[in-house]
Amino acid sequence: MADRSGSAADGRGPRASRPQNIRNVVLVGPSGSGKTTLVEALLVESGVLNRAGRVEEGTTVSDHDEAEARQQRSVNLDVAPVWVGDVKVNLLDTPGYVDFVGELRAGLRAADAALFVVSATDGIDGRTRLLWEECAVLGMPRAVAVTKIDHHRADFAGVVEQCREVFGPGVVPAYVPVMTGEGDERSVGGLLGLLSQRYHDYSSGSRVEGEPPEELVARNEELRTELIEGVIQESEDETLMDRYMAGEDLDRAMLVADLEAAVARGGFHPVLALSALSGVGVAELRAELPLACPSPAERPLPPFTRADGRPAPALSCDPDGRLLAEVVKTVTDPYVGRVSLVRVFSGTLRPDTVVHVCGHGSAARGRQDHEADERVGPLTVPTGRRTDPVGAVVAGDVCAVAKLTRAETGDTLSEKDAPLCMTPWAFPDPLLPTAVHAVHDADEERLVQALSRLTSEDSTLRVEVNPETHQMVLWCMGEAHLDLTLDRFSNRYGVAVETDAVRVPLRETFSVESRGLGRNVKQSGGHGEYGICRIKVEPLPSGAGVEFVDEIVGGVVPRQYVPSVEKGVRAQMELGVLSGYPMVDVRVTLYDGKAHSVDSSDMAFQKAGRLALKDAAESTRVCVLEPVDLVSVLVADDCMGAVMSDLSARRGRVVSSEPAPGGRILIKAEVPQLEIARYAVDLRSLSHGTGAFSRDYLRHEPLPTQLAHRYAEAAEGEGIAAGRR
């Protein structure tokens, strides 16, 4: 049984005492489909709230962040537990907008089942289809909730048919809405349970359950037959089909039990009809959640190893086992400090105990491996902004842990004497770069601190300082993600930030062989400067780097000054000779020169080396090189033409295209970095939100002459070249 005793005063809020009494359900769906409103309705139905909040007013439990209230959309993963009898159901509300996919992935990691929320007015978008496929790969049980069925534009039957086309034949309605009225007067009179053959009448404004009218049963007999046959096919009772074909009247309770078992195994996906605003279907959904969704004890644990990478002993979802938990999300509270949302997979997490924090395997996201022992602070059960203290959290449950200063999103919590490390879940790479800087110089340090905290919270946010352009570049998932980050700079950390276009690190090189004379002679009395050198500069293949060759014969340049010439040449290469960009892929040969017994010095020959390289550049054409990336684009087949045309317009060269799973095409192209700074935004528009891409540096290539002149003028205008010289 679940332990629902205790109070905040004694540190024991309502909690489940064993995994069998826990359900973790993540709500997934497009932005605007009604996930947050549905959570509000379930909280009201469960008695947690007296009155449902509204997204438009910023009063919902899930969207309690100030940015969410302003934008009127979810941007964070939030937890809202509800009780159904003795079963605790943790509702994980995720953002529907694609920019906040990191919050969605965190919700999938913490959940054991997914409820896909689809609007009866808008249907399914391409992004939802991809998420369905992702859950299928994970083997996660799924059900569908069609919301807004009382809207005058609602088409429940059409959306169900669309779900079957997109998600597969395992999607079958379990409830059918019965509509009354026409047009704007159209409303839901009730719901018919196809399997239970019970009618839930909502026409009076409250829910009344009874026997359905005969004509209603007859009208939906075909749907009921389809549902029963689907349940029988998924049933573990092999005699059920024979009994059904023989015309035997099957027990309703047995069919309902088989349906729930099929959903928990992931082979069957019932569709429920509801309206969260009017409350229609909410009670039915609440009753089905603990029955159709598997408990954590029925789901396998994510892969894990010892902290040193060696295989670890097997664990299960056992409250008495070794501790294995994961930080699925971190936030910074202005009053409490860092708060970690933790899913416990094995063992029991208790406050005031020391645990081992392990974060490995995220180097690709710019995170350094780290380990530390930390003392667990107070444990609470979050319900939006409100938190209820709890004494201990068993395997399978979700809680919030305060003051884990070293723990970041994705870190593993385990016993300090038996440290473990869970395999990190997959995060997409942020591919929209924006340069940022503090408006006031005094805020630069605060900006760095704010970035450190934000990147520890958000695994889809990456920061890098470009050593060549000296810009601080913020990599985000998209414009909405960038806007949210900038909002948090100003409203959470009080730092005024400005954005700049990201400067692409160009290069310079020699296109043909050239020779140069460096003459640094200053003899005006006293100790002067004397250094003369002659060099030959030859182009090398892309990626070859810089070579310096000494061909001095007869000591015309003394041995001790040859390194001085090389130092001067390399210093000038770093500054460039045309537009202030570093020079690469050349071989410089020192073959002649002169020295003075008194006035020659290390500095004199360094200056001579600089002058020689500049002189060689004046007598030939110096090329500007631009970086080229290998871009891999994954899109639906019907978007292939538009994407390839767009890549060509960006001076890209398509290398290959090949079929990919799910009816998609993988296109590979070589595209200059100058042309893809905002490709994350443009591809989303071209592919209707379903496209994805990755980019990897390939090489530097000559920039077309007309563009080279344009960027040279821009560099001069910004003072880059002058500053470097």
What is the C-alpha to C-alpha distance for residues 68 and 85, in angstroms, rounded to an integer?
A: 32
What is the C-alpha to C-alpha distance for residues 596 and 703, in angstroms, rounded to an integer?
A: 43
| pLDDT tens-digit readout, 534-575 | 999 999 998 888 999 999 998 999 999 999 999 999 999 999
Amino acid 11: pLDDT: 38
Query: Regarding beta strands 386-389 and 379-383, do their DSSP bridges make them parallel or antiparallel, or are they unpaired?
Result: antiparallel
What is the C-alpha to C-alpha distance for residues 611 and 565, in angstroms, rounded to an integer?
A: 10
Q: C-alpha distances in angstroms, 434 versus 208, 373, 380, 472, 691?
A: 56, 36, 37, 8, 21
Strands of 347-419, DSSP E:
348-349, 354-359, 370-375, 379-383, 386-389, 393-394, 398-402, 412-415
Q: What is the DSSP letter of 619?
A: T
> Which one has a higher pLDDT value, 393 or 724?
393
- For helices 252-265 and 282-292, angle between their N-to-C axes, nearest 10 degrees: 70
Q: What are phi and psi of 243, to 5 degrees?
A: -65, -35
Is the pLDDT at 609 greater than 70, yes or no? yes
CA 486 to chain CA mean position, Å: 17
Query: Taking residues 619-641, what's their average pLDDT?
Result: 92
Q: C-alpha distances in angstroms, 528 versus 276, 360, 603, 606?
A: 88, 59, 11, 14
Give the predicted TM-score (pTM) of the model.
0.86
| pLDDT tens-digit readout, 318-357 | 999 999 999 999 988 777 788 999 999 999 999 999 999 9
Is the pLDDT at 224 greater than 90, yes or no? no
Amino acid 363: pLDDT: 65
Structure tokens at 466: 């470009």
Structural contact between residues 655 and 669, judged by C-beta atoms closer than 8 angstroms: yes
Structure tokens at 190: 């009730």
Structural contact between residues 250 and 240, judged by C-beta atoms closer than 8 angstroms: yes
Place of tokens 């779900």: 163
Return the closest-CA partner of residue 84 out of 313, 285, 233, 382.
285
Return the closest-CA partner of residue 697 out of 530, 423, 507, 460.
507
Place of tokens 């997204």: 55
| pLDDT tens-digit readout, 660-681 | 887 899 999 999 999 999 999 9
Query: Taking residues 16-35, what's their average pLDDT?
Result: 92
Structural contact between residues 78 and 100, judged by C-beta atoms closer than 8 angstroms: no
What is the C-alpha to C-alpha distance for residues 527 and 499, in angstroms, rounded to an integer?
A: 50
For every residue of 22-72, which 3-state class applies, written as one string? EEEEEEECCCCCCHHHHHHHHHHHCCCCCCCCCCCCCCCCCCCCHHHHHHC
- What's the mean pLDDT when you consider all of the chain? 88
Is the pLDDT at 587 greater than 70, yes or no? yes
| pLDDT tens-digit readout, 235-280 | 777 777 777 777 777 777 787 788 888 888 888 899 999 999 889 9
Query: Taking residues 691-707, what's their average pLDDT?
Result: 90
Strands of 250-298, DSSP E:
269-273
State the DSSP H helix or E strand holding residue 685, giving kind and residue range, or none if neither. helix 679-686
Return the closest-CA partner of residue 700 out of 601, 602, 583.
583
Amino acid 525: pLDDT: 65
> Nearest 5°: CA angle at 694, between 693 and 696?
150
Structural contact between residues 61 and 40, judged by C-beta atoms closer than 8 angstroms: yes
| Residue % of the chain over a pLDDT of 70 | 95
CA 96 to chain CA mean position, Å: 12
| Residue % of the chain over a pLDDT of 90 | 55
Place of tokens 């293949």: 541
Transcribe 536-584 into DSSP letters.
EEEE--TT--EEEEE---TTSS-GGGHHHHHHHHHHHHHH-SSSSPPB-
pLDDT band of 38, cuts 50, 70, 90: very high
What is the C-alpha to C-alpha distance for residues 18 and 369, in angstroms, rounded to an integer?
A: 33
What is the C-alpha to C-alpha distance for residues 340 and 374, in angstroms, rounded to an integer?
A: 13
What is the C-alpha to C-alpha distance for residues 399 and 406, in angstroms, rounded to an integer?
A: 18
